[in-house]
């Protein structure tokens, strides 16, 4: 069984991105770390961000979004906050257009057309 088959991806775009990484021999980890972003007054966690992928050889976190641009506000806000709190963390957001371009370039299914209004289940909260 491959690493892709063993991973419970939240969205088809993540599976296709993992296939692309595997094809090029790029090591990856799926949602390996959660970054606390905001706490309540009582110290409990209010907001956190778990990027979709970590590429250890590049020391890069990658977040994919297939949401329409008007629904990306929350995700962009979280990435800005992550960069403020963790300036040494490298993170790249690939949006729907980026994912579609990769699908076309590498002859992959275009997962960006699936579930675009709802986006990632984690982003609806």
Write out pLDDT tens, residues 90-125: 999 988 777 778 777 777 665 555 444 444 444 444
Give the pLDDT score at 1.
Answer: 61
| Distance between CA atoms of residues 93 and 63, nearest Å | 5
Q: Per CATH, which fold does 3-120 belong to?
A: Endonuclease; Chain A (3.40.960)
**Those residues with Cβ within 8 angstroms of residue 37's Cβ, 6 or more apart along the chain or in another chain:** 46, 47, 48, 49, 78, 81, 82, 85
Residue 13 has pLDDT above 80, yes or no: yes
Q: What is the mean pLDDT of the chain?
A: 84
pLDDT at 52: 96
Question: Taking each helix axis from N to C terminus, what angle separates 96-105 and 12-23, rounded to the nearest 10 degrees?
Answer: 50
Residue 122 backbone phi and psi in degrees, to 5: -70, -25
Residues 6+ apart with CB under 8 A from 92: 60, 61, 62, 63
Q: Which single residue is written with the structure tokens 């799926």? A: 30
Per-domain residue ranges of the chain:
3-120
pLDDT number for residue 68 = 72
Name the band, by pLDDT with cuts 50, 70 and 90, for residue 31: very high
pLDDT, greater one: 74 or 32: 32
Q: What is the per-residue pLDDT for 37?
A: 97
Residue with tokens 């329409």: 68
pLDDT in tens, 37-83: 999 999 999 999 999 999 999 999 999 988 777 667 888 899 999 99
């Amino acid at each position: 069984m491959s690493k892709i088959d063993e991973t419970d991806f939240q969205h088809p775009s993540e599976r296709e991105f993992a296939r692309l990484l595997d094809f090029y021999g790029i090591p990856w980890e799926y949602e390996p770390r959660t970054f606390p972003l905001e706490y309540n007054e009582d110290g409990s966690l209010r907001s956190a961000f778990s990027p979709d992928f970590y590429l250890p050889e590049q020391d890069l976190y990658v977040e994919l979004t297939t949401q329409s641009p008007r629904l990306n506000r929350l995700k962009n806000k979280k990435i800005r906050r992550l960069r403020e709190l963790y300036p040494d963390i490298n993170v790249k957001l690939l949006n729907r257009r980026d994912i579609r371009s990769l699908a076309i370039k590498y002859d992959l299914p275009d997962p960006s057309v699936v579930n675009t209004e709802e986006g990632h289940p984690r982003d609806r909260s």
